Amino acid sequence: MNDDQLLRYSRHILLPELDIAGQEAIIKSRVLIIGAGGLGSPAAMYLASAGVGTIILADGDTVDLTNLQRQIMHRNDSVGRFKAESGRDTLNRLNPETVAVALPQRLDAGLLEAHIAEADVVLDCTDNFATRHAINRACVKFAKPLVSGAAVRFDGQLSVFDKRDANNPCYHCLFPDGEDVEETRCAVMGVFAPITGIVGTMQAAEALKVIAGCGEPLVGRLLLINALGMELRTVRYGRDAECAVCGS
């Protein structure tokens, strides 16, 4: 690190759990964020401010006026622009040392695998089960840590899936694909603006812990957040030996 970096990230370096080695790992890291909306916004902004070397923002949607209530990477003059490009510009202003790359498209299976293979950690900030399961399959294939978050109404959830250890569960172990699971999306159910910030910020925290190798990431634990009563609850779960994605 140069002198400017030592000063910029000094409050991280002062933490013995991070120190210089942890911050250097952050600076050298490459993070893929899929979804540049309510969750992706705070996650990306905190990762950029923390010094992540390269952030890839993948999102094929454009900014709508209804997004501005919670998607804090975007402004009034972003309406109509691709979220990935609007987000990239925000990250560039926030920390010019972070290389922010915009992918203004929905990633097909081939592109998804290519970008996940190159990432150190992947953040799932999407809002539909089909995409979540596609991301999980690629992360399992390449043994890449996956930080998954969700938020709707006043509720949020968060977990980390890290198949660098084959004994750890994957997303499919917790939410099997094909089961009759009700899909609720904020476009039709509404969402309390701060809950996306709470979950997205926590995703950034978990990603930094994974990168720096500090603390205890939420592997095998599902954090449930209810902002209406401001209650947090943790549910433990394990690997499904019969899982169609990571089972033996």
Query: Does residue 31 form part of some domain?
Result: yes
The verdict on residue 95 lying in a domain is yes
Range of the domain at 19: 3-236
Q: How many domains does the chain have?
A: 1
238, two tokens: 């394990």
Q: Which residues of the chain have pLDDT under 50?
A: 180
Cα gap 196→164, rounded to integer Å: 28
Tell me whether residue 208 is in a domain: yes
Domain assignment of residue 55, yes or no: yes
Q: Is 65 among the domain residues?
A: yes
pLDDT at res. 184: 60
Query: Which CATH number does the domain housing residue 103 bear?
Result: 3.40.50.720
The span from the CA of 248 to the CA of 246, in Å, is: 7
Kindly state the tokens that stand for 33. Answer: 């964020």
Distances (CA, A) of 174 to 21, 37, 169, 196, 238: 33, 24, 8, 21, 8
- Look-up of token digits 């030592």: 6
DSSP string across 130-195: HHHHHHHHHHHHHT--EEEEEEEBTEEEEEEE-TTSTTS--HHHHS-TTS------HHHH-B-HHH
In whole angstroms, what is the distance from residue 138 CA to residue 124 CA?
12
Q: Is 165 exposed, middle or buried (0-12, 13-18, 19+ CB in 10 A)?
A: exposed
pLDDT digits (tens, 9 = 90+) for 10-64: 999 999 999 999 999 999 999 999 999 999 999 999 999 999 999 999 999 999 9
The pLDDT value given to residue 180: 47
pTM of the model: 0.95
Query: Is residue 137 situated within a structural domain?
Result: yes
Predicted local confidence at residue 182, as pLDDT? 57
Question: Per the domain annotation, does 201 fall within a domain?
Answer: yes
Q: Does 163 fall in a domain?
A: yes
Token pair listed for 51 = 């010094």
The confidence score (pLDDT) of residue 39 equals 98
